[in-house]
Amino acid sequence: MRTGVRENAATPGQWRDALARCALAALGLSMADAALADDMNLLSGGVLDLDAITVTASPGGEPAYGALSPTTIWTRGALEPLQADTVTEVLTLIPSVNTQTTPADAGTAVSVRGLQDFGRVNVLVDGARQNFQKSGHGANGTFFFDTEMLRAVDVTRGPTSGVNGGGAIGGVVSFSTLDADDVLQGGETVAASLKAKAESNPESILLHGEAAARLSDRADVAVAGTWRDAGDYTSGNGEEVVAAQDMLSGLAKARFTPDDDQEITLSALHYDSGFDSAFSEALTSRAMSDTFTLGYHWDPTASWADLTAKIYYTSTRQEQKADDGRTRFEIGTLGGDLHNTSRFVIGSMAHELTYGSDLFHDAVETRDPHGTSDDLTPSGDRLVYGAFIEDRIAVTERVELVGALRYDGYDLTGDNIANSGGRLSPKITLGYTPFTPVTVYATYAEAYRPPSLTETLIDGFHPPPVTAGRFLPNPDLKPEVARNIEAGVDFAFDGVVGPSDSLNVKLGVFHNRVEDYIEQVFEYFPIPGGYQYQNIAEATIQGFEFEARYDAERAFAGLSGQVMGGVDSRTGDQLTSVPPNRLTAIAGIRALDGDLEAGTRITFVGAKRDAEMLGLVGDPYQTVDLFATWKINPRTDASLYFANIFNEQYTQYPNGSPSPGINAKVSLTTRFGS
């Protein structure tokens, strides 16, 4: 990708190097990482080519060293040996990221640094927000995604000031789907691949196919589809858990480059899953999600222009069918963003100035023949908008300064209730490189989350047979404001033991204080009382995160995890939303000139104190997995994965059902190309 810097302006070599360092940092690379990216790939790496719309430049499964932020990227090449069937299996590889799921529901809720639900974590698929939510005893904010479509997942923990940062007081989790470059190899113009996979627990079969064609030097297309049929599974002690699911998904994507400066992308993603209820044989559910995006990127040779624009529409529907009728939850999100980067030099300092805006509109509609769900997941409209400016400055060869401002506003209406607001949030980051392999940084950032439709408008009674009182609306609900302080250090060393090995380490600490934190509390008046969302708490969450990767060509190892805690500063009570401490280790070897790769993953999870208060399981546990991949020939790969080989009985916090016991997965992939 061009930097867009005019050659006649690049006279001093000092600022030229500094500007390059700024650009690489924006892409998630340090100077050393960029030079070594082709050689140092954990689990066969899966390095992504730079994409004009979604830029992901780091090898899979590694922190984005030198990014001056707690960012981690996993690519499909890195995940392939781990046979990740679910979003949970992907995201739990990343420090301070946790998920909440229900076996009899295909949706996944994402928690980052102990913050979850109602948009506290912005989840994106190809840049489109996934804002589905329905009230219940599980998570209040889930999304549906087929991991076979995954190209890369990029997670930034903590508040962000740029595009897609609106409302994300916990972080941003961005999934990108595969495109033609992931299917075509070398000079191929047409290619396809087929994958078949079987599992033992749950008993399941998966078929996945993808194809791509390069229509010309200026256009390519890609399509993919997945079918999966899975049954119930058993936990470590033999307990059967209802989790049967049938799933169909499809993807179509096209890319056009009218000239060397422009690129246009169109994509359509469909997900359809049916599953049974664990509570009633008469109740079945089906979730359907569609995501459409149109992206444009303009990167001329001029240093003042590097323009990206996107519009998207996401529709998520979940239907629950029973003998006495059908309940339907639906949300449609229409949104877009526009931002540009200008690069210039003032004196001896190189600037990378990014500025833009984004907005989205949520339209929620709930239909229930009994009227209960209409009240508890109320229909309504919410418009959220924002604008931002960020200046990344190479002060000297060793000092980098990032300053940003972001304004967020919202308007919410429904059931004769209206609410609105806005706020300006600052961010400042200072990075320092005392010597080339080491970078340290410190950040102060604020973020602003508007209340959701449900938090504001909920008004009704708990469905029978349970009598839990009334749920009351709150038209005066205020947004949450996060104030986050963090610091980190990156190490990137080469030739640690031998001439061709490398060691990369990223350490960080954070302290996030969320004012006017919204929780559901019981109000005694008006009699007989009821539950209401209120700005009752002040959440303070702090922790230590670490990621490390060692690669010596024939052997590799990785380590990641977190130590985290959180309290309600007003009461001193522990926050149940904060996940337990976790450590994940991956190690393996490569043989037969790299065609054979085998290893193990070990996960240690600590105890979660006070989990019993909500009836949750907070017991500590350890799991051991084994994996192996073999490239039989240039066109055929085989993979074998054994999960939880010691059949450990455990429940992932904060899920209510135990996780699967021992499970064997085997897959075979073959490809064709010309």
Total number of residues shown for the chain: 674
Say what the pLDDT of residue 524 is. Answer: 80
Q: Is pLDDT of 6 > 50?
A: no
What's the per-residue H, E or C state across 347-379? CCEEEEEEEEEEEEEEEEEEECCCCHHHHHCCC
- Distance separating alpha carbons of residues 333 and 579, to the nearest angstrom: 29
Neighbours of 583 (CB within 10 A): 17
- Distance separating alpha carbons of residues 352 and 302, to the nearest angstrom: 13
Mean pLDDT of 274-298: 84
State what percent of residues in the chain have pLDDT above 90: 68
Say what the pLDDT of residue 464 is. Answer: 62
Q: Is pLDDT of 622 > 60?
A: yes
Say what the pLDDT of residue 220 is. Answer: 97
Burial of 605 per CB tally in 10 Å (0-12, 13-18, 19+):
buried
| pLDDT top residue among 600 and 471 | 600
Say how many CA atoms lie within 13 Å of 352 toward its Cβ. Answer: 23
Confidence category of residue 460, pLDDT binned at 50, 70, 90: confident
Say what the pLDDT of residue 412 is. Answer: 92
Query: b/e map of 470-501 (b: 16 or more CB within 10 Å)?
Result: bbbbbeebebbbbbbebebebebebeeeeeeb
Confidence category of residue 248, pLDDT binned at 50, 70, 90: very high
Q: Is pLDDT of 354 > 80?
A: yes
For 180-212, the pLDDT digits (tens) are: 999 999 889 999 999 999 999 999 999 999 999
Sign of the torsion angle spanned by Cα atoms 651, 652, 655, 658 = negative
- Distance separating alpha carbons of residues 505 and 256, to the nearest angstrom: 38
| pLDDT top residue among 233 and 3 | 233
Q: Is pLDDT of 23 > 60?
A: no
Nearest to 246 by CA among 288, 290, 210, 201: 288
Question: Among 67-71, 359-363, 440-444, 607-611, which is the least confidently predicted range?
Answer: 607-611
Say what the pLDDT of residue 580 is. Answer: 95
Nearest to 553 by CA among 513, 508, 482, 497: 497
Give CA separation, 654 vs 282, 409, 507, in Å. 27, 32, 26
- Distance separating alpha carbons of residues 651 and 647, to the nearest angstrom: 12
Question: Among 277-286, 480-489, 653-662, which is the least confidently predicted range?
Answer: 277-286
Say what the pLDDT of residue 277 is. Answer: 66
Confidence category of residue 499, pLDDT binned at 50, 70, 90: confident
Task: Say how many Å lie between the first and final Cα of the chain, rounded.
Answer: 27
Nearest to 459 by CA among 361, 569, 378: 378
Residue 83 CA to chain centroid, in angstroms?
A: 18
Q: Is pLDDT of 11 > 90?
A: no
For 132-187, the pLDDT digits (tens) are: 988 877 788 899 999 999 999 999 999 988 888 889 999 999 999 999 999 999 88
For 513-555, the pLDDT digits (tens) are: 999 999 988 888 777 778 899 998 899 999 999 999 999 989 9
Q: Which residues pair with 302 in a beta bridge?
A: none
Helix residue ranges per DSSP H, 28-146: 31-36, 76-79, 87-91
For 295-317, the pLDDT digits (tens) are: 999 999 889 999 999 999 999 99
- Distance separating alpha carbons of residues 394 and 1, to the nearest angstrom: 20
Claim: this prediction has a pTM higher than 0.95: no
Sign of the torsion angle spanned by Cα atoms 114, 69, 333, 49 = negative
585 token code pair: 């280790």
Say what the pLDDT of residue 336 is. Answer: 97
Say what the pLDDT of residue 65 is. Answer: 65
Confidence category of residue 468, pLDDT binned at 50, 70, 90: low
Domain ranges for the chain: 7-673
Domain 7-673 CATH assignment equals 2.40.170.20:
yes
Mean pLDDT of 343-349: 95
Confidence category of residue 327, pLDDT binned at 50, 70, 90: confident
Residue 407, phi then psi, degrees to nearest 5? -105, 135
Three-state DSSP at 666 gives strand
Q: Is pLDDT of 101 > 50?
A: yes
Say what the pLDDT of residue 301 is. Answer: 87
Confidence category of residue 613, pLDDT binned at 50, 70, 90: low
Q: Is pLDDT of 74 > 90?
A: yes
Decide: 321 and 284 in contact? Cβ < 8 Å.
yes
Amino acid at 168: A
Confidence category of residue 239, pLDDT binned at 50, 70, 90: very high
| pLDDT top residue among 632 and 40 | 632
What's the per-residue H, E or C state across 447-516? EEECCCHHHHHCCEECCCCCCCCEEECCCCCCCEEEEEEEEEEEEEEECCCCCCCEEEEEEEEEEEEEEE
Q: Which DSSP category does 662 fall into? A: S
Confidence category of residue 508, pLDDT binned at 50, 70, 90: very high
Decide: 576 and 116 in contact? Cβ < 8 Å.
no
Say what the pLDDT of residue 377 is. Answer: 85
Say what the pLDDT of residue 550 is. Answer: 94
Say what the pLDDT of residue 14 is. Answer: 37
Question: Among 155-159, 387-391, 491-495, 603-607, which is the least confidently predicted range?
Answer: 491-495
Q: Which DSSP category does 178 fall into? A: -
State what percent of residues in the chain have pLDDT above 70: 87
Q: What is the mean pLDDT of the chain?
A: 87
- What would you report as the CA-atom Rg of the chain, rounded to the nearest whole angstrom? 24
Say what the pLDDT of residue 5 is. Answer: 32
Say what the pLDDT of residue 618 is. Answer: 86
Q: Is pLDDT of 563 > 90?
A: yes
Instruction: Quote the Cα angle for 560-566-567, to 5°.
Output: 175
